[in-house]
Amino acid sequence: MKTHTLLILALLSIALACNDDETSPQTTSSSTITFNMEHTWDDTTVSSNDFNTLKFANANGETMSITKLRYLISNITFTPTNGETITLEGYELIDLTNNTNLNTGILGRIPNGTYSNISFTFGFNNADNYNNNYQDLNSALWNVPGLLGGGYHYMQLEGKFIDNTTTEKGYAYHAIRAVDNSGDTQKFEDTFFTVNLGSTTISKDTTFNIAMNIAEWFKTPNTWDLNVLNTMLMPNFDAQLLMFQNGQNVFNLKSID
């Protein structure tokens, strides 16, 4: 099985001209940071070669396939033990379907030193989601309809499953900012979330190997029933909250090289 990895070389686009800050311990050199995004179904590695086959069993017992997986991460943040937090500008639309990262070319370096936490945002925070018009994301048809508040998707996970009548059906597990359109005014609830990778010391070019366990989207804390929740989930306020809750357990840091 071919192991799919997506390399994200993170750009330090903020000014590194803070070398005159004599209180900062990390001023002498810097290193390239790489995010290597891997994907699993529990303990089994998943690549696009595994797509289009009913080979996965979710927590609710349905057999299912994956036909598409795209998701957005942003706000890659380095929190030093001493000094100012560094948040990288930009974002990555990771497309496992086509084995591409559509926002390639993000390259840069991070000052060497000890960081108490490194994190990223799954999706966009509200400022990033609504205040910018991203040409590359528009080109990738990543938009959320204005009826649902606009902005952009956080994830598109699609495939087929065998329902409780043994019929093959499609599902479209699309994550966006939750919106309730049932009242006179739209009610929103944030569903982006921060993924904390923990502390580390950076003294050389470093790769963070991060895994998305796709099975977790259907497992914890909410056992997802595809018979009930399969399509038309974008306007489903409650479904979006369930996705948000399950998303908390999806990512984990496997190793640092």
- Residues in touch with other proteins (CB under 8 A): 51-53, 67-68, 133, 135-136, 138-139, 141, 143, 145-147, 158-160, 167-172, 231-235
Which pair of structure tokens corresponds to residue 193? 């979330």
Cβ distance to other proteins smaller for residue 7 or 232: 232
CB nearer other proteins, residue 167 or residue 185: 167
Chain Cα centroid distance, residue 236: 20
Minimum distance of other proteins from residue 143's CB (angstroms): 5
- At its nearest, how many Å lie between other proteins and the CB of residue 107? 19
Instruction: Write the DSSP string, 128-159.
Output: HHHS---HHHHHTT-B--GGGT-SB-SEEEEE
Nearer to other proteins, 25 or 235 (CB): 235
For the bound state, the minimum distance from the C-beta of residue 34 to other proteins, rounded and expressed in Å, comes to 24
Whether 174 contacts 232, CB under 8 Å: no
3-state helix vs strand vs coil in the chain, percent to 5: 15, 40, 45
Tokens of 214: 């796709």
Q: How far is the CB of 12 from other proteins (least distance, A)?
A: 24
Q: Which is nearer to other proteins, 53 or 164 (CB)?
A: 53
In the complex with other proteins, which residue's Cβ is closer, 71 or 120?
71
| Minimum separation from the CB atom of position 48 to other proteins (A) | 11
Taking Cα atoms as reference points, which of 66, 72, 70 lies closest to residue 98? 70
C-alpha to C-alpha distances, 127 to 15, 52, 130, 151, 190, nearest whole angstrom: 21, 36, 6, 10, 12
